[in-house]
């Protein structure tokens, strides 16, 4: 089986920034977080680290050596439980030094980890990271990459009206463009940075309404103006609703109050969605579109349990809203923000596979801790809704049955098991001769495929439990299996670095594709069943069945990319890998639409929701993360 590679480019240097070295008050202070350790405690922790790792720092003269040391320090920080100062300093040094090594993705992820535990301002911390990284840029390509990394941070700072960070990020992005030696890019970004001052000036007008509310919380006009600012202009409904609920616009006030009740029943969710939609019909843009976006949110929440005309209405209104947002890059994803939505922690070791249920409500994950966990996206709690134990070795693959009740899991204990996950019962078990690495269920739910260490692919009957057929030809472990959408073919990939395609009904070998430099860990078919896509090393290959040749190569990951999934409509591809990024690709153009940063180690698995608006990922960092995807 393939084993974990060293985390990519965690480059360390001992250097502290002001936001991490001195105890300060965070403007985004939250209860329950630890204060920043005082200077004396930090100095003591730093001395301890140097006493242990001093020789390593002295020898860390190459990027590779610094990478190994960075990984060690970050892991040391994770393992410290009873000494907040030592853990803090380990994280601080890892973050600062990875920034100087221009491994910005890792540095930003460390900022998030620090902000999760300690009372710091994460947005300012991220501005410090990129500022430090820009100072270390030597190559043109590094400058271009930094510009791409800073863009979403700057947009986020403006969106949150955090203009201290926005100014820092604006200066950093222009300097990165200068390091990229691109005059046209510098001019473009200078104009963009000018908008920061304009946005800050616009926001200043609304500070007067905040002052009025401080003296009179029930000032209906001031509450309305702030609600309109956050809801209609910023699309930040979590900020807008409390103001609208106290506004002097009686129609908005009534709906906002019901919205704030956060209804759980689909009937009540539908009622809130309809109310926003109806009110939107009486208003002009930007209020109209903003209210429709809020209605979209509640239609999306209610959709899994809606039936008949109500379901049809919800789907059509969701599609109508999405059509208005296409081509509007500043418009937020109506089902939630683009980017990380949830982070689930609970696995005791690496997460090996993730899956979305067809109804979009549940996410499943499995891993080396021998457990299968099911997470309910409809509740706020970040604890698994169902914990399934029974496998005696690590679990490598999970897949939902189309009925949204059964869940399949494949394990190195030589079995595939089908669970009634809500009841916690094992329904059926399929024995194999060796470790099982993958499982995928057919669209009709009647059959499923497994890939095994015995170099074979198996087709099984779900209802009878019988083996229907086996597919042979690989010369090493089989990691990946897939059904073609038209039901004609089966594809597989494995340690022999090949992709093989078979006829489903006869088992006849159709085509073999070779070109990977590492094990093939994932295979999918395109929506027309004419091409197979495979992943495993740093290149994603698209193979043409008719010609037997490479149709396309998708390049963008640094290091292996073992994780891959294709959207239900076949238009988009998700990949993830050693560089800790998740990339969303447009299959028609072969271009990356967006990269997502958050995981602090290799991404092992990704999956789309059936509607294509969300994704889930799992990785070596033991976390499961749910992402909002940009509108198509």
pLDDT digits (tens, 9 = 90+) for 436-478: 999 999 988 899 999 999 999 999 999 889 999 999 999 999 9
Read off the pLDDT of each residue in 283-295 and give the average, rounded to a whole number.
Answer: 91
Given 268, 302, 325, which residue is the final one in a domain? 325
pLDDT of residue 328: 42
* Residue 315: Cβ-neighbour burial (10 angstroms; 0-12, 13-18, 19+): middle
Above 90 in pLDDT, residue 613?
no
CATH code of residue 540: 2.130.10.10
Confidence tier at 217 by pLDDT (50, 70, 90): very high
Same domain, 143 and 240: no
Euclidean distance between CA atoms 353 and 360, whole angstroms = 17
pLDDT tens per residue across span 532-553: 999 999 999 999 999 999 999 9
- Structure confidence at residue 520 as a pLDDT band (50, 70, 90): very high
Boundary residue ending a domain (140, 168, 203) = 203
- pLDDT range class, residue 48, cuts 50, 70, 90: very high
Same domain, 246 and 274: yes
Say whether both 113 and 142 belong to one domain. yes
pLDDT at 156: 76
pTM above 0.85, yes or no: no
Same-domain check for residues 69 and 183: yes
* pLDDT for position 597: 87
Answer yes or no: is pLDDT of 108 > 50: yes
Domain assignment present for 6: no
The larger pLDDT score, comparing residue 335 to residue 64, is at 64
Mean pLDDT along residues 219-232 = 89
Give the model's pLDDT for residue 267: 92
In a domain, 210, yes or no: no
Pair 33, 81 in one domain: yes
Q: What angle (nearest 5°) sits at the alpha carbon of residue 620, between those of residues 419 and 339? A: 90
Strongest mean pLDDT among 175-179, 317-321, 370-374: 370-374
The answer to whether the Cα torsion of 465, 471, 477, 481 is positive or negative is: negative
> What is the band of 14 on the pLDDT scale with cuts at 50, 70, 90?
very low
Q: What is the C-alpha separation between 390 and 544, in angstroms, rounded?
A: 41
Residue 535 region by backbone torsions, left for phi larger than 0, else alpha for psi between -120 and 50, else beta = beta
Residue with tokens 């609208």: 244
Has residue 500 been placed in a domain?
Answer: yes
Same domain, 241 and 355: no
Q: Return the higher-pLDDT residue of 154 and 273.
A: 273
Structural domain includes residue 22: yes
pLDDT of residue 281: 93
The predicted model gives 255-269 an average pLDDT of 92
Query: What pLDDT shows up at residue 325?
Result: 62
- Looking at 271, 299, 325, which one is the last position of a domain? 325
CA angle 73, 77, 80 (to 5 degrees): 135
Kind of pairing between the strands at 425-431 and 436-441: unpaired
Residue the block writes with tokens 């990951």 = 557
pLDDT-derived band of residue 23, with 50, 70 and 90 as boundaries? very low
Q: Which residue has the higher pLDDT, 68 or 343?
A: 343
Same-domain check for residues 475 and 417: yes
Q: Compute the distance between CA of residue 586 and CA of residue 78 in angstroms, rounded to an integer.
A: 36
Write phi, then psi, for 262 (nearest 5 degrees).
50, 65
For residue 506, count other CB atoms closer than 10 A to its CB. 9
Is 476 or 136 the better-scoring residue by pLDDT?
Answer: 476
CA distance 302 to 257: 18
Give the pLDDT score at 335: 40
Residues 221 and 197 in one domain: no
Q: Is the pLDDT of residue 199 over 70?
A: yes
**Is 262 domain-assigned?**
yes
Tell me the C-alpha distance between 334 and 192, whole Å: 25
How many structural domains is the chain composed of? Answer: 3
Query: What's phi and psi for 275, nearest 5 deg?
Result: -65, -45
211 in a domain, yes or no? no
Poorest-pLDDT segment among 155-169, 268-282, 428-442, 558-572 = 155-169
Q: Does 244 share its domain with 385?
A: no
pLDDT of 54 > 90? The answer is: no
Positive/negative CA dihedral, 410, 415, 416, 418: negative
pLDDT, residue 67, reads 66
Mean pLDDT of 590-606: 91
Q: Is 542 helix (H, G, I), strand (E, B) or coil?
A: strand
Q: What is residue 61's predicted lDDT score, i.e. its pLDDT?
A: 75
Instruction: Please say if the pLDDT value at position 20 is more than 60.
Output: no
- Note the pLDDT tens digit of each residue in 380-419: 778 899 999 999 999 999 999 988 889 999 999 999 999 9
Task: Check whether 13 has a pLDDT greater than 70.
Answer: no
- Per-residue confidence (pLDDT) for residue 204, from 0 to 100: 76
622 within some domain: yes
Percent of the chain with pLDDT over 90: 48
209 lies in some domain: no
C-beta contacts of 69-76 below 8 A and 24+ residues apart: 69/12, 70/10, 70/11, 70/12, 70/94, 70/97, 70/98, 70/101, 70/106, 71/6, 71/7, 71/10, 73/12, 73/49, 74/10, 74/110, 74/600
Confidence of residue 356 (pLDDT cuts 50, 70, 90): very high
Instruction: Report the pLDDT value the prediction gives residue 8, as an integer from 0 to 100.
Output: 31
Half-sphere exposure of residue 426: CA atoms within 13 angstroms, side-chain side: 13
Q: Which range, 93-97, 300-304, 404-408, 456-460, has the best average confidence (pLDDT)?
A: 456-460
Using 50, 70 and 90 to split pLDDT, how confident is the model at 64? Answer: low
320 and 411 in a single domain? The answer is no
Structural domain containing residue 222: 216-325
Mark whether 546 and 618 lie in a shared domain: yes
pLDDT reported for residue 123: 85
φ, ψ at 259 (rounded to 5°)? -65, -45
Do residues 303 and 231 share a domain? yes
Q: What is the pLDDT of residue 632?
A: 62
pLDDT band at 554 (very low <50, low <70, confident <90, very high): very high
Q: What percent of the chain has pLDDT over 70?
A: 91
Task: For residue 617, give the H/E element and its range.
Answer: strand 614-619
């Amino acid at each position: 089986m393939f084993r974990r590679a060293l985390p990519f480019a965690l480059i360390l240097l001992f250097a502290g920034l002001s936001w991490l070295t001195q105890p300060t008050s965070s403007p985004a202070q939250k209860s329950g977080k630890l204060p920043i350790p005082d200077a004396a405690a930090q100095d003591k922790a730093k001395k301890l680290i140097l006493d242990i790792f001093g020789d390593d720092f002295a020898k860390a003269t190459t990027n590779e050596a610094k990478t190994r040391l960075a990984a060690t320090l970050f892991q040391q920080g994770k393992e410290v439980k009873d000494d907040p100062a030592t853990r803090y300093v380990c994280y601080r040094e890892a973050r600062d030094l990875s920034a100087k090594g221009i491994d910005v993705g890792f540095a930003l992820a460390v900022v998030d980890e620090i902000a999760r535990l300690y009372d710091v301002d994460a947005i300012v911390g991220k501005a410090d990271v990129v500022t430090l990284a820009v100072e270390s840029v030597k190559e043109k390509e590094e400058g271009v990459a930094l510009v791409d990394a800073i863009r979403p941070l700057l947009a986020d700072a403006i969106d949150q009206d955090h203009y201290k960070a926005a100014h820092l990020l604006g200066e950093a992005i222009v300097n990165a463009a200068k390091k990229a030696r691109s005059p046209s890019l510098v001019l473009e970004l200078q104009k963009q940075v000018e908008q920061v001052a304009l946005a800050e000036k616009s926001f200043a007008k609304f500070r007067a309404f905040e002052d009025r509310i401080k003296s009179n919380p029930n000032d209906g006009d001031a509450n309305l103006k702030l609600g309109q600012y956050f809801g209609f202009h910023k699309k930040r409904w979590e900020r807008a609703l409390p103001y609208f609920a106290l506004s002097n616009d009686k129609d908005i006030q009534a709906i906002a109050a019901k919205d704030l009740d956060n209804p759980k029943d689909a009937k009540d969710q539908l009622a809130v969605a309809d109310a926003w939609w109806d009110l939107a019909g009486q208003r002009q843009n930007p209020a109209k579109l903003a209210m429709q976006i809020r209605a979209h949110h509640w239609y999306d929440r209610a959709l899994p349990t809606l039936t008949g005309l109500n379901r049809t209405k919800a789907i059509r209104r969701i599609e109508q809203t999405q059509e208005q947002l296409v081509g509007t890059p500043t418009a937020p994803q109506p089902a939630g923000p683009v980017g990380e939505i949830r982070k689930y922690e609970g696995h005791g070791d690496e997460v090996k596979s993730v899956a979305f249920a067809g109804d979009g409500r549940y996410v499943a994950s499995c891993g080396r801790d021998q457990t299968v966990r099911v997470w309910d996206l409809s509740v706020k709690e970040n604890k698994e809704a169902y914990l399934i134990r029974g496998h005696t070795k690590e679990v490598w693959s999970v897949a939902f049955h189309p009925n949204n009740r059964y869940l399949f899991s494949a394990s190195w204990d030589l079995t595939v098991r089908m669970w009634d996950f809500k009841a916690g019962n094992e329904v059926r078990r399929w024995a194999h001769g060796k470790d099982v690495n993958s499982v995928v269920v057919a669209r009709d739910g009647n059959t499923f495929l497994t890939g095994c260490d015995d170099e074979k692919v198996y087709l099984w009957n779900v209802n009878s439990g019988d083996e229907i057929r086996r597919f042979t030809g690989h010369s090493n472990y089989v990691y990946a299996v897939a059904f073609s959408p038209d039901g004609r073919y089966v594809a597989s990939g494995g340690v022999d670095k090949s992709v093989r395609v078979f006829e489903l009904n006869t088992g006849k070998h159709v085509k073999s594709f070779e070109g990977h430099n590492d094990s093939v860990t994932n295979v999918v078919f395109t929506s027309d069943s004419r091409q197979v896509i495979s992943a495993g090393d740093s290149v994603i290959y698209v193979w043409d069945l008719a010609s037997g040749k490479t149709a396309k190569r998708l390049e963008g990951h640094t290091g292996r990319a073992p994780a891959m999934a294709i959207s239900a409509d076949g238009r988009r591809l998700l990949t993830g890998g050693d560089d800790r990024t998740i990339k969303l690709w447009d299959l028609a153009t072969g271009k990356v639409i967006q990269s997502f940063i958050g995981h602090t180690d290799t991404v092992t698995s990704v999956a789309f929701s059936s509607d294509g608006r969300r994704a889930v990922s799992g990785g070596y960092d033991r976390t499961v993360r749910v992402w909002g995807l940009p509108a198509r």
